[in-house]
Structure 1
Amino acid sequence: MRIVDVCAFYSPFGGGVRTYVEQKMRIGPQLGHEIVILAPGDEDRVIERGPNARIVTLKSPRFPLDRKYWYFASERQLHQALFALAPDFVESASPWRSAGQVAQWPGPAPRSLVMHADPLSAYAYRWLGDVFSRETIDRQFNAFWEHLRRHSRRFDLVVSANASLSRRLADGGVAHTTTIPMGVQPGVFSPALRDPALRAQLLAACELPDSATLLLGVGRLAPEKRWPLVIDAVNAASHDRPIGLVLLGEGREKRTILRTIAGNPHIRLFEPERDRTHFARIMASADALVHGCEAETYCMAAAEARASGTFAILPDLGGGADHAADGAGLTYRSGDPASAAQAIRQVAQTRPQPSGHTRTMDAHFEELFAAYEAICAARIDALAHRAA
């Protein structure tokens, strides 16, 4: 199949979507498919990524809230590009504007909506959850639910990476919803990469001895990631025992996070580690990963921690919670720094070792593309039946 991924939030500057796209372009051709990433950019351009894999960018405006991204401003331009590419299957990788543009495309190919974002959890539930129930918030944001319901009827499949989001979508009337979990890049993360010298070095950067507990935080510096909550929880837990936190990330909330750290020498904020081999050593060398975001659709950092043999401290809602199953982590009440602090204390005291299997991204794409093939086959059978 020629699979065209209409990827509104792809950026060459990094992020989880770019990681996912890179894996798709690697694995898809191995499974016999042609992968085309159709993304907005500064210019019309084709970037070849090997046999049967390429990125096609359409000249588009920059996204005003984050200049690392662009957006599809013209539905007509997008539709013309899809007709020119003649896909066998079309994906929309965003539930926002581009989902409607893909739904309205009059071409014949079947299509899917892949929920790489959970906007209600990232924004509405986080902003209003201390005052209103989720049911009340959902009623107030019915326009967004109706947007999803309306477009889902034009898609053959709506893909979610975690069971919790899939249930919410189905309960909200979003059609054709299924769960296909993602996974980690194979051959990169391993408990065997744990390095006591590197662990001691990271603790020394936090002005702590190697007898202290080393926590690792990984992710964008964005409001929905709740890094101030994590920092407050670490500060509270540190009253009982020495704990260091190394936070790897970049983003628009950097100043806010530095103000929250307030010069605490035991909490250090560093730029993301872009060398995947060295990052895997860091992940395996931490005593635990700590995460604050309950709006993750999958939580790649938690999956990579599990693959590294590193325990995870996670909120009890969203995709992160799935990675605490089978003894691989411990959950706390989402949005509650006191609950997070108690979980950190427990992990610092007991130093648990995780267990359980880690799914790979290869398995994710095998399952995803098999679902697409089944939809295409069913459509061909239906057309043949009508012709007969």
Structure 2
Amino acid sequence: MRIIHIANFYGPKSGGIKTTLHNLGSGYTAEGHEFIYVVPGKKFGREETTHGACISLPSWQIPFSGGYRVIRSTYRVKTILNSLKPDRIEVSDRFTLSCLGKWAADRNIPAIVFSHETLRGLVKNYLGVPMKRFVSWHNTRLASRFDFVVTTTNFAAAEFDEIGTTNVVRVPLGVDLQTFSPSLRNEELRTKMIKGGDVLLVHCGRLSPEKKPERSLETLRALLDRGINARLVYIGSGPLHKKLYDSSRDIPVTFWGYVANKKLLAQMIASADISLAPGPIETFCLAALESLASGTPVVASETSAVGEFLVDHNGDFVGLTAANNGRAFADAVQILLDEIAEDATLSDRCRTQAEQFPWSETIMRLGRLGGATPVAHRPTNKSAA
């Protein structure tokens, strides 16, 4: 089967989307499928990679996004699709690429769309008001154009379930269990990162407004006020880098930047005590799962989806959620530090929990959607026209 995945917000320093595409490609290829992914670039290009063929199309750079790009012309995308004759298409962008669902329906080609974000959360985060009618209209319209809407957690699916969407499927993403491992803890690297501190916190992710990276600074300040000799290391880049840097000159913070070397990234995470994931509207958070795979417990926002995988099958926690303020995050960090001191099995339990999310399981579940429901049976709604 020839599977073509079209995605925006993909680039050299993008995180979750790039990781997802590469792992999907590797998994599909291992199953004997042909995988091609179409992404934004500076110009037209085609490259054969270990994940499949990558086609880049001319794109617009989004202002103040830290380098994110969006494909300029869906007409060009459709032209590419017409020539490649896919057996199935996958789309990662609910906004500018949703028209591809109709293109596929007109040709009786199964099509799925990944809902990587919560529209309800984005609207509230950026506009400050819920705009429920708009969110419901958009989600109904999106679902009507595709055979399936793939969500990664119950949190991500909730806004579709609330409007009675019938073609939503939950498929958790996976984690690279070979790359990320507790065995990669590196004491020499830890000493370099912690710079004389006692507790090493890492924040791994994009430094952008919706991720609320400033919450990690608030957490560090609260811990320092309590006499805890901690250091925070940011791993990642983004539009808020300068603002965060300028506001943290008086406290022990290191901005490591984007780390392209996966082995180094895995060593850094495995060498930390606790990983912070403060994004309040995360629908999955691959960085949190990579932390667990590295044996590092996580503190995450209580309003995100991350809490769904911070409790193992025995009911034991491998991380904690906290209210969206620095004091609450600091409280959770202190609880985990006590747990680390008292329970030598915590790191192993983190790893065991991550092992419940192999990419092979993700690929298998998505494979079941290969014979998608007939286009004629797609949900319809007059408001979605």
In structure 1, give the amino acid aligned to 2:225: H
CA 1:61/1:107 → structure 2, altered by over 3 Å: closer, same or farther?
A: farther
> Matches of residues 59-70 of structure 1 in structure 2 within 5 Å?
59-66=58-65, 68-70=67-69
In structure 2, give the amino acid aligned to 1:357: Q
Q: Alignment partner of 1:12: what SS?
A: coil
Q: Match for residue 236 of structure 2?
A: 249
Deviation string for 1:132-160 (max 9, x for gaps)? xxxxx44x242233122112112111001
Q: Match for residue 370 of structure 2?
A: 373
Q: Alignment partner of 1:262: what SS?
A: coil
Q: 1:161 Cα shift? A: 0.9
Q: Which moved more, 1:313-322 or 1:7-16?
A: 7-16
Task: Specify which of 159, 182, 199 is matched with residue 191 of structure 1.
Answer: 182
Q: Match for residue 134 of structure 2?
A: 143
Q: 1:234 Cα shift? A: 1.6
Q: C-alpha distance in 2, partners of 1:275/1:120?
A: 34
Contact 1:122 1:294 (8 Å CA) reproduced: no
Q: Match for residue 382 of structure 2?
A: none
CA 1:242/1:148 → structure 2, altered by over 3 Å: closer, same or farther?
A: same
TM-score, normalised by the number of residues in structure 1: 0.86
In structure 1, give the amino acid aligned to 2:15: G
TM-score, normalised by the number of residues in structure 2: 0.87
Q: C-alpha distance in 2, partners of 1:143/1:181?
A: 27
Q: Match for residue 380 of structure 2?
A: none
Q: Match for residue 111 of structure 1?
A: 111
Unaligned runs of at least 5 residues, structure 2: 378-385
| Aligned residues with identical type, % of pairs | 22
Q: C-alpha distance in 2, partners of 1:248/1:275?
A: 12
Q: C-alpha distance in 2, partners of 1:78/1:235?
A: 48
Q: Which has the higher contact order (CA 8 A, sep 6+)?
A: 2
Q: 1:367 Cα shift? A: 1.4
Deviation string for 1:204-226 (max 9, x for gaps)? 1xx42xxx111111111101111
In structure 1, give the amino acid aligned to 2:68: Y
RMSD, matched Cα: 2.3
Q: 1:94 Cα shift? A: 1.0
Task: Specify which of 111, 134, 156 is matched with residue 165 of structure 1.
Answer: 156
CA 1:196/1:65 → structure 2, altered by over 3 Å: closer, same or farther?
A: closer
In structure 1, give the amino acid aligned to 2:118: D
Task: Specify which of 316, 341, 357 is matched with residue 302 of structure 2.
Answer: 316
Q: Which moved more, 1:149-158 or 1:357-366?
A: 357-366
Q: Alignment partner of 1:46: what SS?
A: strand
Q: Alignment partner of 1:10: what SS?
A: coil
**Residue 299 of structure 1 pairs with residue 285 of structure 2:** yes
Q: C-alpha distance in 1, partners of 2:186/2:47?
A: 38
Q: C-alpha distance in 2, partners of 1:67/1:251?
A: 5
Deviation string for 1:13-70 (max 9, x for gaps)? 44221121121222211111111112232322221225x9211223333334437333
In structure 2, give the amino acid aligned to 1:9: F
CA 1:103/1:296 → structure 2, altered by over 3 Å: closer, same or farther?
A: farther
Q: C-alpha distance in 2, partners of 1:251/1:98?
A: 24
CA 1:288/1:107 → structure 2, altered by over 3 Å: closer, same or farther?
A: same
Q: 1:369 Cα shift? A: 1.9
Q: C-alpha distance in 1, partners of 2:282/2:152?
A: 9
> Matches of residues 184-333 of structure 1 in structure 2 within 5 Å?
184-204=175-195, 207-208=196-197, 212-240=198-226, 241-264=228-251, 266-326=252-312, 327-333=317-323
